[in-house]
Structure 1
Amino acid sequence: MIDYLIIGQGLAGSILSYFLKKLNQKIIIIDNKHSLSASMLSAGTMNYVLGQRLAMPADAITIIPYALNFYKEIEKHSKKIMITNKPFIKIFNNIHEKEWYKKRILQDQYQPFIGKTIQPNEIKNIKNPNGGCYINKTYQLDTPSFLNWFQQQLLKNNELIFDKLNIKDLNITPQWIKWKTIKTKHIIFCDGQNIRFNPMFKNIPFYPSQGDVLTINSTQLDPNKIINHGKWLTPIAKNYYRYGATYLWQNINCMPSQIGYNELIQSLKKLTSANFNILNHSSGIRMIPSDKMPILGTHPLNQNIHIFNGFGSRGTISIPYFANFLANHLVKKIPLSKTINFKRFQ
């Protein structure tokens, strides 16, 4: 019998498995090869200020250093570079965003993170009539490489099964849960958008949002900078970039949408005068809780069924911190904060 059966090997499932194993727990992950995973569409950026107002989330000072230390720890194990410090440019879309920059640059708590201004047309082939600024202390995770390394380690240890879990196939008792030939003390659902179809968590007020992303090829863009103008343009290899993402709230069908494609093309042409070729159009689904806080914890009627979900578009930043929190809660019985505990929706 194992200790934890984890459903999903995206960022949430992979990182949670790491912290559980550090606490000497036996785990197996079931994964559907990241089908429709928002993790695979992530830009992987981590920065302290964001949005039109260049606001700093209250938890940024805590969770971003924690995430950086975690990814550096994984780099030591993998002997691969997975996290890099990248120049990040915020384009001002209008005069209001420029005014917010002027306010933030005078506030002490923002000065380490908000850099020098960028003049219109300063960045080659980037259209920014209202200017822009550098955002300091910005990092980027190579999410595909990170997940691939985890996948290889899990396979090597016989801890990963490629399959699609059907809830009806679970045999649940108060002492254990059985799926096919696997018997486990606990099961943790880290399966992102698939939680929509799980009857055990049907009362969680999620707002699913589909995100479309383009992969493009261009020889006329800066290969060393991340550009953000409400959507992000990030280099992934020499002359290759990803651009996204959209937020589609209605008629979500789990497939790349024509609406999303059209929005991305129009927006990208507004951002750059560079020539580009479209190589791929993909999509994923983010699960955003009504209060925009992560969802961790144990089912009220089944003490061996747990959830780890609801990170929206901030998974790269927040998952390491909360994965450690949940692992210690499950193994060492350390209480969860009410603001993140699944029980807040009861």
Structure 2
Amino acid sequence: MAVTDYDYLIVGQGLAGTSLALHLLEMGKKVLVVGDASMPSSSKVAAGIFNPLTGKKLVKTWLADDLFPYADQFYKDLEAKFSCKLVYSMPIFRPFRSIEEQNTYLAQTADPAISQYIAADGRTDLSHYVESRFGGLEVIRAGWVDLPVFLEKGRDYLTEADSYIEKSFDMDDLSVGPECISWHDLSFGKVVFCQGFFGVNNHFFSWLPFTPVKGQILEVATEEVLPEYIVNQGIFMLPASRKVMRVGATYSWDPLNWEPTIQATEELNEKLQALLRIPYQITSAAAGVRPSVKDRRPLLGIHPDHANVCIFNGLGTKGVTLAPFFARQLAEHLENGKDLNPFVNIQRYFSLYFR
């Protein structure tokens, strides 16, 4: 094997790229992350909510029993390493829309797989704050991760470790040979593309079934101190500070750009008016494009024709819990040959490439 300057070139310093770099450094690998702070990133916009029970049917999040404990330890370790606050544990209050929904949800809580994520007393009353005439369900072991701080502190840490470079990445500068990867007079054993939405334009992996979706969130100021609950009913309301919340999110597919729109703001505001019972003022809006996939599972693995070209992408809306767990799995796959979960391995789509 050729001697290289670095073991890995990681393209992208979002949630995926940062998580993977931290795991590889922990394994003693020499890593260089290429980031471009001027580029838009869904990781910078995302609310960072982790929720073990999702959807109108109250379904347990895929692999929650594995993902959540690992993510919790990952971020807690980083809080100590970075000397900052990243994780905010906070229950999620789901107001019942009707007596029928109340009965259906309460019946589901008899399932031990669900009940471990439900508050035992079930007496949360937020009727002064949100429309909840039928009561609601309190989901525990939930909360949010401050992703902008995670990215900033992660970049600082990588910089101090000589593992980060701020530079616009151009595919024309990359040369892939059988023995090594070359980029700007540097050599690497492997390249891992962690480009989020921009991965759709990467010719190595453009055959994968990306289905990116645009989302918008609002920042909302209130006159009253907010209860320390995330509210989830059609939209989420996340208290980011004592009197400021983030509200989201929309889903749209055209156009896929990073500009907030009046229509999306109006859509969120209409839902917020029906839910929130205290005065508020919209102070700003932000939009991002989620790197989603047709089957709603991440994209990990090695290119079918290039053993040193890899991808870590497609984290969608649940990236804060998916990224740490699958960063470890990908690192162990690349270094030790451990099998990837078949539901995330891009081998499931190889037929699209060879077609």
- TM-score interval, smaller chain: over 0.9
Distance 2:297 2:165 in 1: 30
Correspondent of 2:217 among 208, 213, 219: 213
> Does the 8 A contact of 1:125 with 1:220 survive in 2?
no
Q: Which residue number corresponds to residue 261 of structure 2?
A: 257
Kindly provide the amino acid, as one letter, of the partner of residue 266 in structure 1.
Answer: E
Distance 2:138 2:8 in 1: 43
Q: Which residue number corresponds to residue 294 of structure 2?
A: 290
Q: Which residue number corresponds to residue 123 of structure 1?
A: 127
Correspondent of 2:336 among 332, 336, 341: 332
Residue range with higher mean Cα deviation, 329-338 or 64-73: 329-338
Correspondent of 2:145 among 133, 138, 141: 141
Distance 2:100 2:315 in 1: 29
> Does the 8 A contact of 1:215 with 1:278 survive in 2?
yes
Kindly provide the amino acid, as one letter, of the partner of residue 143 in structure 1.
Answer: L
Distance 2:213 2:79 in 1: 31
Distance 2:77 2:102 in 1: 38
Q: Which residue number corresponds to residue 323 of structure 2?
A: 319
Distance 1:338 1:67 in 2: 20
Deviations 1:229-278 (A, max 9, x none): 12211111231211111111232223223332221111111211322222
Correspondent of 1:85 among 73, 83, 89: 89
Distance 1:343 1:118 in 2: 47
Aligned length: 345
Kindly provide the amino acid, as one letter, of the partner of residue 180 in structure 2.
Answer: W
Correspondent of 2:68 among 64, 68, 88: 64
Kindly provide the amino acid, as one letter, of the partner of residue 83 in structure 1.
Answer: V
Q: Does 1:24 align with 2:28?
A: yes
Q: Which residue number corresponds to residue 176 of structure 2?
A: 172
Distance 2:82 2:295 in 1: 36
> Does the 8 A contact of 1:297 with 1:308 survive in 2?
yes
Displacement after TM superposition at 1:77 (Å) = 1.2
Displacement after TM superposition at 1:185 (Å) = 1.6
Correspondent of 1:305 among 309, 328, 351: 309
Distance 2:102 2:280 in 1: 29
Q: Does 1:37 align with 2:41?
A: yes
Q: CA 1:328–1:30 in 2, change beyond 3 Å: closer, same or farther?
A: same
Q: Could you tell me the TM-score, scaled by structure 1's length?
A: 0.94
Q: CA 1:123–1:78 in 2, change beyond 3 Å: closer, same or farther?
A: farther
Q: Does 1:73 align with 2:77?
A: yes
Deviations 1:82-105 (A, max 9, x none): 213213211223455323312212
Distance 1:47 1:265 in 2: 23
Distance 1:217 1:201 in 2: 42
> Does the 8 A contact of 1:293 with 1:340 survive in 2?
yes
Q: Could you tell me the TM-score, scaled by structure 2's length?
A: 0.91
Distance 1:60 1:223 in 2: 26
Q: Which residue number corresponds to residue 274 of structure 2?
A: 270
CA RMSD of aligned residues (A): 1.9
> Does the 8 A contact of 2:300 with 2:345 survive in 1?
yes
Q: CA 1:254–1:45 in 2, change beyond 3 Å: closer, same or farther?
A: closer
Distance 2:109 2:129 in 1: 27
User: What is the percentage of aligned positions where both structures have the same residue?
Assistant: 29
Q: Which runs of no fewer than 5 residues in structure 1 stay unpaired? A: none
Q: CA 1:289–1:237 in 2, change beyond 3 Å: closer, same or farther?
A: same
Q: Does 1:185 align with 2:170?
A: no
Q: Does 1:280 align with 2:280?
A: no
Residue range with higher mean Cα deviation, 86-95 or 290-299: 86-95
Q: Which residue number corresponds to residue 230 of structure 2?
A: 226
Deviations 1:106-160 (A, max 9, x none): 22222221234467x7432312234311112223212222221111111222322
> Does the 8 A contact of 2:197 with 2:290 survive in 1?
yes
Residue range with higher mean Cα deviation, 224-233 or 39-48: 39-48
Distance 2:226 2:16 in 1: 31
Distance 2:103 2:183 in 1: 56
Q: Does 1:110 align with 2:126?
A: no
Q: Does 1:153 align with 2:171?
A: no
> Does the 8 A contact of 2:192 with 2:309 survive in 1?
yes
Distance 2:282 2:316 in 1: 26
Residue range with higher mean Cα deviation, 4-13 or 97-106: 97-106
Correspondent of 2:17 among 8, 13, 34: 13
> Does the 8 A contact of 1:328 with 1:334 survive in 2?
yes
Q: Which residue number corresponds to residue 353 of structure 2?
A: none
Q: CA 1:81–1:67 in 2, change beyond 3 Å: closer, same or farther?
A: same
Q: CA 1:24–1:238 in 2, change beyond 3 Å: closer, same or farther?
A: same
> Does the 8 A contact of 2:51 with 2:61 survive in 1?
no
> Does the 8 A contact of 2:226 with 2:242 survive in 1?
no
Q: Which residue number corresponds to residue 167 of structure 2?
A: 163
Residue range with higher mean Cα deviation, 75-84 or 19-28: 75-84
Distance 2:254 2:246 in 1: 24
